[in-house]
Structure 1
Amino acid sequence: MLMTMKRWMHRAVLLAALLLVFVHGQAAAHANLLRATPEPNSVHPEAPPEIILEFSEALEATGSAIELLDAAGQRLTTPQARVDPADATVMRLALPRLDPGVYTVAWRALSAVDGHLTRGVYPFIVGRGVATPQVATSAGPEPGNFGEARPLDVLARVLALIGGALVVGGFGMHLALWGPVRATLRLPPESGDRRLGRMVAVGLGLLGGGALLALLAQLQALGSLRTLGALLLESRFGGDWILRVILLELLAVVAHRAVRRGDRLLLLLGLALAGGLLATTTALSHSAAVKEDRAAAVLNDWVHLAAASLWIGGLVHFLIVSVPALRSAPPDRWERGLGMLVRRFSVLGIASVVALIITGLYSGWLHVGSIEALRATAYGQTLLVKLVLLVPLLGLAGLNLLHWRRRLGTAESARHGFVRTLRAETVTGLVVLAVVGVLTGLGPAKSALEARQTAALTLRETVGPLRAALTLRPPRPGPARFEVVLTDASGDPYDNARRVRLQFTPPDPSLGASEATAEPQGGGHYVAEGAFLSITGRWRVELQIQRPDGYDLFTRYDLTVDQSVQPAANETGGSGLGNWLGWGLIGVGLGVTLLSFWLRRQREFVALSVLVLAIGILLLVTGGLQALDLTALSGAAASTTNPVPPTDASIARGRVLYGQHCAACHGATGRGDGPAAAGLNPGPADLQVHVPLHTDAAIFDWITNGIPGSAMPAQGEAIRPEDRWNIINYLRVLVSSPTGRGE
């Protein structure tokens, strides 16, 4: 019988390999914004009649929306956005009459293909001469949609994966391995059934909890409980969720009767229902968004998930059902039965690993596609973590297969060694499933990399009489193209700049700033290229426009550099706090999950669960401490960057304050030749020399606290913080002015 199983296994593997050789497709995954009308950052003399957004996938009418916000962030009253009935990839919003100003489009897209939710914002302008805020846009899909895993969603996926493995592995192991071994050893027919019932009950509980959390996560993403009815009844996610709940209810009834009666047909029915539950998971997987051969891609995901569930769930069954049942048998049957189980499980394990390798390679080709995508995306990095964890998992499996299996009949210590290694293998397998839960919550690496490479980040500022748009291509660390577009108040290109200079100040200003000159390209375009944003953190990019017909113009852009480049948010610590709290809850959830496996003599599970719980609690405490330190974070941010934009009003205010507090010593031109300078020793610093050499933060500190050993007094009490920054903005103009007088 064993040889027959091996022959059929080899044939199935060969057939699967041949089928996968001929399948192909291109994954998109997630409904990502492709085109927008009006375009991001576009300027319109008159308001456009409607907003038209085109996405990479068909949309659900429920959960997809467009909102329009004015410059104050207030939502405007508009008709409800609608998905185009002729083309479900297009969403439209009719616009009312709009006054001149800056408007922000906030969109939300619920994919009808895979149920994932994406969102984004971009600005457009109505009317000429309107001042524009610093806003980022993306010419392609929003990069943030690919690298963010929502904690509640991840926890739901982890619970569902572990629960599915327990149910599939429990039924499969009981049918294929434990049942025949129990009959051969002539053990009582009900031997192990009670423990199987507990295992399946825990699995069903985790599946139910995962389904509930998945619904809550989707409602959280949509932002309203009022969408619950429409979400369940009108969306693909809702139909899949209802089917999952129905299968769970049927499976609970079948499992209860199958365990009580020991009926093989009911066990088979339970295994089939469990396979259907896995199908509800893969129906909304990344492969559901494949452009071609979608059925083959989804089937590949199902085979991959089923193989993993049989292997890891089978390990749990082996450990908490089969081994305890054998230990209660006479010693000769314990030894013989363990050997039979190991031989049979080896066949199941090898078949599962082969299936995982084949389907995993295909999924990797489909959703990753390159070493760069594996290295540079959140999906790829999480996949690497999974692959690293597979090394000890396969190592432990090999140790059991090649070492302990041959020694099971020689000594009791060998059997104990086998069980210890089995426990370690089981725990490692459950951790791998947890990592897979994170992985499935991220956008595919191939799509994320393509979005990052084709996307552009555009920031706009009004600088005196000019508008300056700074575009980064691509918006990520490393080599990039920095494009500056200058236009006047009427929207015409400004070509008269003598020099356009970019200065890049890193997160640690003490490292020094780097500079680049943007070369003129004609039509108001100036371009610089280089890897100026080279380390992660909060950067300041200053733009200086030297004009032959007036004083130099300055503006500043604050950027946060991580895996991508984004406009820097106010550093309040909120995002970090949410992540710490979310992952802390995941740690607690995993600890409770592992505790549920505890049976007698499984002390290792208790110890591991306590460890995971401790880690989760530690993360929660860390998040709480971070929340208490928000004020300190905000203060640190203020001490390193100038929060006051160098507008005309700021520079004018700074000129007045400089005359009141500084000119007596430093002089009208900053040369250190003011009327009070003659009586000072050492004399005042020459600002024309020193200001270009130092950061805004350093000058702010000197104005606030003075300079020890010099006549520079502390002005922290006399000048408000905002006015100190205004003075600094004026100093930047003063030292760059052709007349040396800031005019």
Structure 2
Amino acid sequence: MGRSSRRWLFPLIGLAAAVFFLLARPVGDVAAHANLSRAEPAPNSELPESPERIVLWFSEGIEPDLADIRVLNARGDSVDHDDVTTQGNPVESVSVSLPDLDNGTYTVSWANVSTVDGHRVRGSFLFSVGEAISGEVELPSQPTFSNPQEPYLRWLVLLGSLSVAGGLVLELAVWRVALSVIGGGVSFITVKRRVWWLYLAGILVLGVSSLGQLLSQSGSTFDVSWIDALGEPVCDTLETDWGRSWLWRAGFFLVLSAALITRYVRRNGRSERPDGGNAVKADYAAYAALGASLLLLAPITFVSHAGATPDLAFPAQLSNYLHLLGAALWGGGLIHLGLAVLPALRGVEAGYRREFLAEAIPRFSVVAIVGAALLAVSGLFSAWAQVTTIPSLGVPYGITLIVKTAIIIPLLVLAAINHRWIRHRLARDDNASRWLTRTVIGEVVIALFVLLLAGVMTSMEPARQVAAREGRGLPNGFVGDTISENVVIDIAVEPAKTGRNQVRISLTDRNGTPLTDATDVRVRLSFLEEDLGELPVPLENVGNGVWVLNDAVIALVGVWQIEADITRLSGFDARAAFRFEVLAGAGSNSGAIRPDKDLGRVLLGVEIALIGVVLLAVGVPLGGWYERRGVMFMAPGTAAGAIGAGLIVWVQFFAPVSVYLQTNPFVPDGDSLAKGKVAYEAVCSVCHGEGGKGDGAGSVSLYPPPANLPVHVPLHTQGELFEIIRIGVAGTAMGPVSGLTDDEIWHLINYVRTLEAPGLQ
């Protein structure tokens, strides 16, 4: 391994360690800002008797020591037992016990601190005992920012960290290499001095803003001023998840600062050649500083929205890290190019200046193209993860994202002008260098504003959460219709929220005439995200072909399935099935809009593969596999392409799924049941019999005898049934069923589940 290769080990180790931190950091099902998801009793509920406890569930993990619930009577006196307890790991529910309350209206006041972004959230709601509520409150809207300083502090943290990291890349991969190529004429020490002052400014900005974040976070968490936060509040904050991420950042900051100071003290970056040129020595401290700066970006990612993306925390965090890396390569490099390197060339003789720029700018273009590509592909993933739906663009986060994207357009235009027009004239036209300086300064100004908007966005609640809470794009109740056995079945579930619901089924013929020959109508409600069991529930005939079930209790937010069985005098029984989304009946619906887990993993694979394509596209003009510069891009590009493609294939075909929680991808409608019946008659009926009772012709000599399906099927989840059919049951004649595809097995499961249904046995 050559000396140059050994130097680059430091930043490579930094990158690898950053990814390791992202992988090693434990994550739960979180959502950025711990808002109220549901409560027992529900907000604004009227209870006949006093509850034993108040239980609150939140949309993400919260700090257990900073959670609080108070129950107040109409006079404002606390009436709870002051014994707040927490459940879960991470903690997502909090409860407090109550005495036997007198009749009256009570207020539940709660507060928490998120384990992800450290934001403190408060709220309250009413409930009554033995009488109507004397007033009604809406859950208070959360402020746009947890404190007014947060966007600016986040902006300064981004500015300091990205400028230092980008400046180190620019130095080690661009201008120092250009100086060593062209020889004398451009003073290395002149450029280095200006760059050093910019490093110092970046370190000061990062250090001061990080301390400001700690004081601001402590003050916001404990409702004290920054001055009063010094001492115990700061110590307590450092014991939270947010505080531990801050400590990691502080540690990497100290390593970065030490490496830069070592460089300054030793001054080993320059030695004079006899011809007056510039011979750049191995500067291991610079590469160590670059590695530390890359590591420092990981703790920033920990407390971002990415760390609170439900079911996709690691993919979102990795994408966010790549986004920061791209911003450092392009934006951080621009800052150093525009504020340090180009100003240092003003006193240099025109010929040497043109020679230097002709060598340096093409190298920076390569770095900037890679950075812009990282920003683009990772930005698309992040936007999808935090916005998810088109209506979510109408909330403050979404609007800011649109503005940020629009402002990037002139930045791209200026970059294209530099790359396509100015860059090619630098070697022969001195005016080109002046235009380069102007356009780069313009890019720097726009980049600073884009970073400010990034600080604003990362201080806001994600768009999908706000949109979900406001009901943007969410259904109000569920309505579905289908035709079975020439019966038009209309099903309505209102309000399709947790709590009590009404199920209404209307039966007509194809001409719209009400059908009155139904003797029994039953529904089964099943939660698809967890096995809660299911029982057929009869509906009441209210006449004119309408059947109603009042007070159907739906307990959980998520996807539910409703199946209706209609028994008729004519014998032509009908059946219908639908799936629908259930929202929180009261409180917060912050988790109602969630990015799809499998789609997210596929998109991550696409993102990594696209990055690989960009690296390959950059490497080919640089010589491909035949030149050292080309190999520096071809090797990681090939690896990224392979990893991305492999991830896509793995998710599509090999990703493990919990057998217990597997969900049948097919609704048990008429088409699915018909296919399932064909499969049953082909492979099952010979042993289990026509009705599934284990009395088929082939069952006579079997021991143990075949299972009675109407009895045994309800005892298993659909995922377990799938595995039983696919691999069989040890110790019985039930072996693996061959000749059926996975889809046919799922249709078969839908069919055998009807064997216990009234009228279908």
Please report the TM-score for the alignment, with normalisation by the length of structure 1. Answer: 0.55
Post-superposition Cα deviations, 1:97-123, rounded to whole Å, max 9, x if no partner, equal 544332222222222244333332111
Post-superposition Cα deviations, 1:360-393, rounded to whole Å, max 9, x if no partner, equal 111122221222212x211111100100110111
Residues 155, 213 of structure 1: 8 Å contact kept: no
CA distance in 2, matches of 1:199, 1:426: 14
Which structure 2 residues correspond to residues 214-613 of structure 1 after superposition, within 5 A? 214-222=213-221, 223-224=223-224, 225=229, 228=233, 231-260=236-265, 261=267, 262=269, 264-374=283-393, 376-453=394-471
Residues 31, 59 of structure 1: 8 Å contact kept: yes
CA change 1:27–1:389 in 2 (3 A) is farther
Measured after TM superposition, the shift of residue 148 of structure 1 is 4.4
1:52 is paired with a residue whose SS is: strand
Which residue in the other structure is 2:149 paired with?
152
CA change 1:346–1:474 in 2 (3 A) is farther
2:38 is paired with a residue whose SS is: strand
Which residue in the other structure is 2:212 paired with?
213
Which residue in the other structure is 2:202 paired with?
203
1:120 is paired with a residue whose SS is: strand
Q: Which residue identity is paired with 1:247?
A: F
Which residue in the other structure is 2:95 paired with?
92
Which residue in the other structure is 2:54 paired with?
51
Residues 52, 98 of structure 2: 8 Å contact kept: yes
CA change 1:148–1:86 in 2 (3 A) is closer
Measured after TM superposition, the shift of residue 234 of structure 1 is 2.8
Q: Which residue identity is paired with 1:176?
A: A
Residues 219, 233 of structure 2: 8 Å contact kept: no
CA change 1:280–1:177 in 2 (3 A) is same
Which residue in the other structure is 1:183 paired with?
180
Residues 193, 259 of structure 1: 8 Å contact kept: no
The answer to whether the aligner puts 1:192 opposite 2:194 as a matched pair is no
Residues 33, 121 of structure 2: 8 Å contact kept: yes
The answer to whether the aligner puts 1:174 opposite 2:174 as a matched pair is no
CA change 1:190–1:410 in 2 (3 A) is closer
Measured after TM superposition, the shift of residue 473 of structure 1 is 8.9
CA distance in 2, matches of 1:278, 1:288: 13
CA distance in 1, matches of 2:41, 2:80: 18
CA distance in 1, matches of 2:238, 2:346: 51
Q: Which residue identity is paired with 1:150?
A: N
Measured after TM superposition, the shift of residue 456 of structure 1 is 12
1:182 is paired with a residue whose SS is: helix
CA change 1:193–1:214 in 2 (3 A) is same
Which residue in the other structure is 2:137 paired with?
135
CA change 1:523–1:350 in 2 (3 A) is closer
Q: Which residue identity is paired with 1:56?
A: S
CA distance in 2, matches of 1:449, 1:170: 39
Which residue in the other structure is 2:67 paired with?
64
Residues 150, 441 of structure 1: 8 Å contact kept: no
CA change 1:34–1:218 in 2 (3 A) is same
Measured after TM superposition, the shift of residue 441 of structure 1 is 1.1
Measured after TM superposition, the shift of residue 302 of structure 1 is 0.4
Post-superposition Cα deviations, 1:105-146, rounded to whole Å, max 9, x if no partner, equal 2222222244333332111123325x6124114xxxx7636x
CA change 1:318–1:229 in 2 (3 A) is closer
CA distance in 2, matches of 1:456, 1:221: 36
CA distance in 2, matches of 1:338, 1:301: 32
CA distance in 1, matches of 2:438, 2:326: 23
CA distance in 1, matches of 2:309, 2:213: 23
Post-superposition Cα deviations, 1:586-617, rounded to whole Å, max 9, x if no partner, equal xxxxxxxxxxxxxxxxxxxxxxxxxxxxxxxx
1:327 is paired with a residue whose SS is: coil
Measured after TM superposition, the shift of residue 212 of structure 1 is 2.1
CA change 1:274–1:473 in 2 (3 A) is farther
In structure 2, list runs of 5 or more residues that go unmatched. Answer: 6-14, 20-27, 270-281, 477-493, 503-547, 552-589, 591-761
CA distance in 1, matches of 2:63, 2:81: 20
Measured after TM superposition, the shift of residue 453 of structure 1 is 1.8
Which residue in the other structure is 2:160 paired with?
163
User: How large is the RMSD of aligned CA atoms in angstroms?
Assistant: 3.5
Measured after TM superposition, the shift of residue 85 of structure 1 is 5.5
1:190 is paired with a residue whose SS is: helix
Q: Which residue identity is paired with 2:401?
A: L
Measured after TM superposition, the shift of residue 205 of structure 1 is 1.6
Post-superposition Cα deviations, 1:3-51, rounded to whole Å, max 9, x if no partner, equal x9xxxxxxx9xxx9xxxxxxxx997333232221121011234432221
The answer to whether the aligner puts 1:124 opposite 2:127 as a matched pair is yes
Post-superposition Cα deviations, 1:490-537, rounded to whole Å, max 9, x if no partner, equal xxxxxxxxxxxxxxxxxxxxxxxxxxxxxxxx9999xxxxxxxxxxxx
CA distance in 1, matches of 2:89, 2:293: 38
CA distance in 2, matches of 1:427, 1:152: 22
CA change 1:149–1:55 in 2 (3 A) is closer
Residues 143, 452 of structure 1: 8 Å contact kept: no
CA change 1:71–1:208 in 2 (3 A) is farther
CA distance in 2, matches of 1:185, 1:424: 28
State the identity as a percent: 32
Residues 111, 121 of structure 2: 8 Å contact kept: yes
Measured after TM superposition, the shift of residue 169 of structure 1 is 1.3
Measured after TM superposition, the shift of residue 418 of structure 1 is 1.6
1:66 is paired with a residue whose SS is: strand
Measured after TM superposition, the shift of residue 303 of structure 1 is 0.7
CA distance in 2, matches of 1:125, 1:26: 32
1:151 is paired with a residue whose SS is: coil
Measured after TM superposition, the shift of residue 474 of structure 1 is 12
2:94 is paired with a residue whose SS is: strand
Residues 74, 105 of structure 2: 8 Å contact kept: yes
CA distance in 2, matches of 1:322, 1:65: 54
CA distance in 1, matches of 2:148, 2:254: 27
Measured after TM superposition, the shift of residue 438 of structure 1 is 0.5
CA distance in 1, matches of 2:101, 2:475: 27
CA change 1:193–1:98 in 2 (3 A) is farther
CA distance in 1, matches of 2:412, 2:78: 55
CA distance in 2, matches of 1:189, 1:420: 23
CA distance in 1, matches of 2:233, 2:202: 26
Measured after TM superposition, the shift of residue 180 of structure 1 is 0.5
Measured after TM superposition, the shift of residue 73 of structure 1 is 4.3
Q: Which residue identity is paired with 2:306?
A: S
Post-superposition Cα deviations, 1:135-160, rounded to whole Å, max 9, x if no partner, equal 114xxxx7636x54632111111111
The answer to whether the aligner puts 1:102 opposite 2:105 as a matched pair is yes
